[in-house]
Amino acid sequence: MTAQTDSLQQKTPRKRDYYFDNVKFFLIMLVVLGHTYRPLIDESPIIKGVYLSIYTLHMPLFILVSGYFAKNFNKEGQNKKLITTVLVPYFIFEILYSFYDHLIYRTDSLEFTILEPYWIMWFLFSLFFWRLMLPFFVNLKYPLLIALALSIAIGYIDDADSFLSLSRTIAFFPFFLLGFYLKREHFERLFSPTKRVIGIIGGVLLFLMMYGLEFHSSIDLDFRRWLYFVFPYEDLNHPEWYAGMIRLGFIGLALVASALFLAVIPRGKTFVSELGSRSLYVYLLHGFFIKFYDALDVDDKFAGPTLYIVATIAAIGLTFFLSSRWVQNLFRPLVQPKMDWIFHKQEQRKLNKAAY
């Protein structure tokens, strides 16, 4: 799902880091599972507990990994790569989803919301701005602290929500910036059998904690909406001055949960490593399936454990299918369009020579 890395790793022959391919595959599987479970969370407390656990870490960690692969942002040709691998696919799929939404839900009119990213499209829109923001922040004296302060402060602004994906762009930026500063050896500190066991146990405890807080706690928080990092504090019924500390707590929880997840992921080449390199395809395409599934209102027609099991298997199967080379070959013109014609020939030669 890291748009630029997915695109360029397909073209540039180099030794792959299979660990991060594995990370991306299992993360994108969590994304698909989370969206599949969304219509079911009011039907089953266990499903909602799993859903909240997924949302605790999947986007923060994806964003952190995206920042980790942004270290070459200042090399020649990177801005043009940013346009061709992030901005252009954003426009393509923003338009496609607008048409699809109109078709599936039979809306009265067709609406294009280019400046208010449609559902999952916020990630590409924000990724574009994170890459633009990066050169400015790396020149600051305390970039991470400033990014964290802005992440907390944006929640106090009532009008900062979906327009330009401003709220998520600012709120999630600390994860992107932290990923940029992390080195391979930081991840290697999680590589040990003991820490893998801790990661597994920690994942179980994370679910139990989210389940307990949601259903057996007097804490007055709508955990699901807090985990989206998009709503102003007032919309979350917490206009108090200390509401930013609640967001800070969720940021800390996301980092802990991410570490637990990273400790469990296999380090070497596995049967999903190649699939993980195509996570952007899964991200951009799975929404068409999820919206169709949502429009069927299956949660109103069927209920019970059978539905939850079938939905889970279908989500996992969809992840494998959309990660396939067949899907990549078919949809490459949309996900990784060739944009040579948009640049001057001299500039294009520089783009092609620029190392990533």
Query: CA torsion, points 188, 11, 282, 210, in degrees to nearest 10?
Result: 20
Report the percentage of the chain scoring pLDDT > 70.
Answer: 91
pLDDT at 14 over 80: no
Picking from 153-162, 297-306, 322-331, which range would have the lowest pLDDT averaged per residue?
297-306
- Return the structure tokens found at 235: 């919309």
Whole-number Å distance between alpha carbons of 188 and 197? 15
pLDDT average, residue stretch 204-222: 95
Give residue 338's pLDDT band: very low, low, confident or very high (50, 70, 90): confident
pLDDT at position 10 is 47
3-class secondary structure per residue, the chain: CCHHHHHHHHHCCCCCCHHHHHHHHHHHHHHHHHHHHHHHCCCCHHHHHHHHHHHHHHHHHHHHHHHHCCCCCCCCCHHHHHHHHHHHHHHHHHHHHHHHHHHHHCCCCCCCCCCCCCHHHHHHHHHHHHHHHHHHHCCCCCHHHHHHHHHHHHHHCCCCCCHHHHHHHHHHHHHHHHHHHCCHHHHHCCCCHHHHHHHHHHHHHHHHHHHHHHHCCCCCCCHHHHHCCCCCHHHHCCCCCCHHHHHHHHHHHHHHHHHHHHHHCCCCCCCCHHHHCCHHHHHHHHHHHHHHHHHCCHHHHCCCHHHHHHHHHHHHHHHHHHCCHHHHHHHHHHHCCCCHHHCCHHHHHHHHHCCC
pLDDT at 321 over 80: yes
Q: Which residue has the higher pLDDT, 164 or 151?
A: 151
Give residue 201's pLDDT band: very low, low, confident or very high (50, 70, 90): very high
pLDDT digits (tens, 9 = 90+) for 310-320: 999 999 999 99
Give residue 349's pLDDT band: very low, low, confident or very high (50, 70, 90): low
Q: Are 156 and 42 in contact (CB under 8 A)?
A: no
pLDDT at position 159 is 81
pLDDT digits (tens, 9 = 90+) for 33-52: 999 999 999 999 999 999 99
pLDDT digits (tens, 9 = 90+) for 168-196: 999 999 999 999 999 999 999 999 999 99
Whole-number Å distance between alpha carbons of 81 and 77? 6
Picking from 63-67, 219-223, 321-325, which range would have the lowest pLDDT averaged per residue?
219-223
pLDDT at position 296 is 84
Give residue 346's pLDDT band: very low, low, confident or very high (50, 70, 90): low
pLDDT at 328 over 60: yes
pLDDT digits (tens, 9 = 90+) for 115-147: 889 899 999 999 999 999 999 999 999 999 999
106-to-162, 204, 294 alpha-carbon distances in Å? 23, 41, 13
Count CB neighbours of 54 within 10 A: 23
Q: Are 99 and 58 in contact (CB under 8 A)?
A: no
127-to-54, 88, 133, 269 alpha-carbon distances in Å? 21, 12, 10, 27
pLDDT at position 70 is 94
pLDDT at 305 over 70: yes
| Amino acid type, 156 | Y
Picking from 148-152, 182-186, 231-235, 344-348, which range would have the lowest pLDDT averaged per residue?
344-348
119 conformational bin, left if phi > 0, alpha if psi -120 to 50, beta if neither: left
- Return the structure tokens found at 19: 């660990």
Count CB neighbours of 26 within 10 A: 18
Give residue 12's pLDDT band: very low, low, confident or very high (50, 70, 90): very low
pLDDT average, residue stretch 26-34: 98
For the chain, which residues make up each domain, given as ranges?
3-353
Give residue 350's pLDDT band: very low, low, confident or very high (50, 70, 90): low
Give residue 345's pLDDT band: very low, low, confident or very high (50, 70, 90): low
Give residue 73's pLDDT band: very low, low, confident or very high (50, 70, 90): confident
- The residue among 52, 39, 68, 70 whose CA lies nearest residue 254 is 52
Q: Which residue has the higher pLDDT, 291 or 297?
A: 291
